[in-house]
Amino acid sequence: MKKINAMFKRLAARNEKALIPYITAGDPDLDTTRGLVLEMARRGADLIELGIPFSDPLADGPTIQAACQRALRQEVNLPKIIDLVRALRRETDIPLVLMGYYNPILSYGLDRLARDAAQAGVNGFIIPDLPGEEARDWHRAACDAGVAPIFLAAPTSGPSRIRKIGALTRGFLYYVSVTGITGARAGLPEDLKTALAEVRTLIKCPLAVGFGISTPEQVRDLAPLVDGVVVGSAIVQRLACRTDAAVVREIGDFVAELKAPLR
């Protein structure tokens, strides 16, 4: 949790914005995930989201659904991802956040997971199917262990809920750019900028925007309005079905391109 806060502070002091890439852990395998995290950290990522593969990823479009399926075929699960983070912590200090659906988290046990994850070096969790209203137990477990429970808000949330979510979330507020699921889109909603400007007035914590953001141009466009930009499907798409060694460097190049407009 502290690591995320420190990162946003450090960037703010330099008038810089955070690039938050997402990849699904274990797609195509855990070794590649390890290589990708290190490469992305070197090439300009400020915080990395690692997806926990799930059989029924409701908030995700076809790209990340397919990534989940590939990772599940490798029998990737939460304990293995926590082990991966533990191993990564010997090599990188970058804030790491796990993004996953509630049932695997519940099945692991809320308190046990928060403790194990914190001990391994996980800094936060994003659970897209856990609304704030239902999150009391998780919020307490996460805060007690020192991992940030990060919450999402959507264009349909409305000012009063966004205020509540802003007070509940730790690390940052994840604003979903569209009403819908993850996945690269040609264009973002026209009213997104207005919406982000409004959200900004409703919350005190850092604000990151994600869902559907796939190009350096879009990143440049949104940068002035937020503290961080999440790019997921566009990276996962480049990774899909590749097993050759060159892919890690190519993703690194893409991350560097995405980061450039945020400096």
Contact residues toward another protein (CB under 8 A) are 54-56, 58-59, 61, 65, 72, 77-78, 102-108, 129, 131, 133, 154, 156-158, 161, 178-181
Closest contact distance (angstroms) between CB of 52 and another protein is: 9
End-to-end CA distance of the chain: 23
Joined together, the tokens standing for residue 79 give 């304990």
- 3-state SS record for 22-91: EEECCCCCHHHHHHHHHHHHHCCCCCEEEECCCCCCCCCCHHHHHHHHHHHHCCCCHHHHHHHHHHHCCC
Cα–Cα distance measured from residue 142 to residue 147, given in angstroms and rounded to the nearest whole number: 5
Q: Which SS3 state, helix, strand or coil, does residue 71 take?
A: helix
Please identify, using beta-carbon distances, which residue of 123 and 157 lies nearer to another protein: 157
Please identify, using beta-carbon distances, which residue of 65 and 123 lies nearer to another protein: 65
Closest contact distance (angstroms) between CB of 133 and another protein is: 7
Q: Is 60 a catalytic residue?
A: yes
Closest contact distance (angstroms) between CB of 67 and another protein is: 13
Please identify, using beta-carbon distances, which residue of 80 and 200 lies nearer to another protein: 80
**All residues at 6 or more sequence positions from 146 whose CB lies less than 8 Å from its CB, including other chains:** 1, 2, 118
Marked catalytic residue, from 27, 46, 60, 116:
60
Please identify, using beta-carbon distances, which residue of 5 and 74 lies nearer to another protein: 74
Cα–Cα distance measured from residue 203 to residue 185, given in angstroms and rounded to the nearest whole number: 27
Q: Which SS3 state, helix, strand or coil, does residue 149 take?
A: strand
Marked catalytic residue, from 49, 56, 144, 191:
49
Closest contact distance (angstroms) between CB of 198 and another protein is: 15
**């997402």: which residue's tokens?**
22
Please identify, using beta-carbon distances, which residue of 103 and 194 lies nearer to another protein: 103
Q: Is 133 a catalytic residue?
A: no
Helix 192-202 × helix 158-168 angle, to 10°: 60
Closest contact distance (angstroms) between CB of 116 and another protein is: 14
Question: Could you give the residue numbers annotated as active site?
Answer: 49, 60
